[in-house]
Amino acid sequence: MELEFFGAAGEVTGSCHILRVAGRTILLDCGMIQGSKRAESRNRDPFPFSAKDLDAVVLSHAHLDHSGRLPLLVRRGFRGPIHTHFATRDLTKVLLADAAHLGVRDVERRNRRRRRAGKPLLTPLFELQDAQRAVAQMATHRYHEAIQVTPEVTVVFQDAGHIMGYAMSQRRRRRTPSAVQRRSWPVRHTDTARPRVASRH
């Protein structure tokens, strides 16, 4: 089992972690990097993994620092399921549509200035149809439901407060017919606190 942290480690936003188990790859959250213009420009960087090759995504909650790059992930080729709580799907649908609208308007405004200055035009990070496709790929679940994410990995969402639908994910990996390994993730934090890895076991 390998766990790699690509965001919200040493910083608060941009939650994005890769879990590799038995040859399968699961992405835990795909959040937007928020803060200064310079920090936010990193949202346009290539993902440090292949979106096409992911087997599944598990989304902990709706806030954009956890969900905001899902439309980009879809735009770059991810076609698998995004497992999440049903309330998170409903909230994410609204938040991503709003983010797409604001992003398009921001680029239009900046391009008016860039056109006058003869500079190359920008394109939006993602558009409404990308957000809608990401939401359409969501597989929704309730708390305490055993979710078979891959043949080797089962996830159970547990209510963690913070926002409606926020779920701590307890992963169970069957190692042998009689042994089950349990870990908890994701990096659990408030939106203003330094992140820390939660562990109950």
- Given the rule CB under 5 A, which of 48-56, 61-69, 90-98, 140-148 is the region that contacts Zn ion? 61-69
Closest to Zn ion by CB, 108 vs 191, is 191
Q: Least Å distance between CB 55 and Zn ion?
A: 25
Provide the 3-class DSSP secondary structure of residue 70: helix
Q: Least Å distance between CB 114 and Zn ion?
A: 33
Amino acid at 196: R
Tell me the residue nearest to Zn ion as measured from the CB.
Answer: 63
Q: Least Å distance between CB 116 and Zn ion?
A: 39
Residues numbered 158 to 177 that lie near Zn ion (CB under 5 A) are: none
Closest to Zn ion by CB, 21 vs 70, is 70
Examine residue 83 and tell whether it contacts Zn ion (CB under 5 A).
Answer: no
Q: Least Å distance between CB 95 and Zn ion?
A: 11
Q: What is the DSSP letter of 136?
A: H
Question: Residues 73, 6: contact at Cβ < 8 Å?
Answer: no
Handedness of CA 70, 72, 74, 76 (dihedral sign): negative
Can you tell me the distance from the alpha carbon of 122 to that of 55, in angstroms, rounded to the nearest whole number? 31
Closest to Zn ion by CB, 75 vs 185, is 185
Can you tell me the distance from the alpha carbon of 44 to that of 38, in angstroms, rounded to the nearest whole number? 11
Closest to Zn ion by CB, 63 vs 141, is 63
Q: Least Å distance between CB 63 and Zn ion?
A: 3
Cβ-count burial 51-75 (b if 16+ within 10 Å, e if not) = beebbbbbbbbbbbbbbbbbbbbbb
The CB density around residue 105, as the number of other CB atoms within 10 Å, is: 11
Considering only 17, 63, 89, 141, the residue that binds Zn ion (CB under 5 A) is 63
Can you tell me the distance from the alpha carbon of 184 to that of 168, in angstroms, rounded to the nearest whole number? 7
Binding site for Zn ion (CB under 5 A): 63, 191
